Amino acid sequence: MPQDFWASSGFTALDRGPQGLVPTDAWLARFAESPELVPPADAGARERELHRRFRAAPRIPIGRDELAALEDPDARDNWAAFLRFRERVLAHPTLEICYASLFAGGVDIAPVFVDALAQVIVRAALDGTDDAWLARAGELFFRRQRVSTEGGQVLAADAATLEVYAETGGFGAVGRLLREQLPAVKMDVLNHENAPFYWMRDELYSFAIDPSGPVAARSWTQAPTMTSYTGMSCPTPWSSP
């Protein structure tokens, strides 16, 4: 059965055109909910007003003078970075063409926005799939990975998730307090038995994957044999696109 996944990509808020994914006001407005743009409790009146106006009309012109008038320098920087991304997106008919243009003329937007484009494009390419291996492999395009060998297998795991597990053991603030007593980090390796659970944990990025397993061979008979990934022994990162 086809699965819905990566809801944070905003895929369902986009339109589909003959050339690909077309940004909508709803898709752009989602970025106003990011921690970098949401005004904190002590935000100034001008920052709050800009945020309100943008949420109501995500394509409104926002000039340099308006940004310069924001009370908080971090807010000015964050809005400037986002508006550079918005300008790049709206200058192209589709997100795919926008993404390709980055590598033709130089990447001039923050890495988080490059990854946002990659994620939603991969999500569109995988729309309708029920293959957990394909979905997990798709994460390689927009999530930094760490690679290690375990028992002769090459395994890739999400770098950010490993960092959180290394700090908290997966137990949040309590784990952070007990950090010195935590064992080596272990993550589940995607296999026959746990593959259905990928769709429940798709945005936890908590499965390691064997790139030489089913995703490469396209055969369910070659599932990974390892059941866990010891994350503390994986020093080599893969950079996101």
At residue 62, what is the residue type?
Answer: I
Burial (CB count <10 Å: 0-12, 13-18, 19+), residue 22: middle
Ramachandran area for residue 23 (φ above 0: left; ψ -120 to 50: alpha; else beta): beta
pLDDT-derived band at 223, boundaries 50, 70, 90: very low
Give the sign of the dihedral formed by CA 205, CA 208, CA 214, CA 217: positive
**Sheet bearing 145-150, strands edge to edge:** 153-158, 145-150, 236-238
Q: Dump the DSSP string for 107-125.
A: --S-HHHHHHHHHHHHHHH
- Kindly report the number of other CB atoms within 10 A of residue 237's CB atom: 12
CA dist 149 and 234 (Å) reads 8
pLDDT-derived band at 58, boundaries 50, 70, 90: very high
Which residues are paired to 15 by β-bridges? 22
Rounded to the nearest 10 degrees, what angle do helices 111-125 and 95-105 cross at?
130
Give the pLDDT mean for 28-39.
97
Quote the pLDDT of residue 184: 53
Is it the case that residue 221 has pLDDT exceeding 80? no
Quote the pLDDT of residue 76: 97
pTM of the model: 0.81
Quote the pLDDT of residue 215: 56
pLDDT-derived band at 234, boundaries 50, 70, 90: very low
Please give the mean pLDDT across all residues of the chain.
84
Q: Dump the DSSP string for 183-213.
A: ---EEEEP-TTTGGGGGGSTTTT-EEB-TTS
Quote the pLDDT of residue 105: 81
Is it the case that residue 11 has pLDDT exceeding 80? yes
CA dist 160 and 143 (Å) reads 8
The tens digit of pLDDT for each residue in 147-188 reads 988 778 889 999 999 888 777 554 444 334 434 444 455 688
Quote the pLDDT of residue 172: 47
Give the pLDDT mean for 208-218.
69
The tens digit of pLDDT for each residue in 62-111 reads 999 999 999 999 999 999 999 999 999 999 999 999 999 999 988 999 99
Is it the case that residue 28 has pLDDT exceeding 70? yes
Which residues are paired to 238 by β-bridges? 145
CB 142 within 8 A of CB 240: yes
Q: Dump the DSSP string for 150-173.
A: ETTEEEEEEHHHHHHHHHHTTSHH
Phi and psi at 126, nearest 5°, equal -95, 5
Quote the pLDDT of residue 148: 87
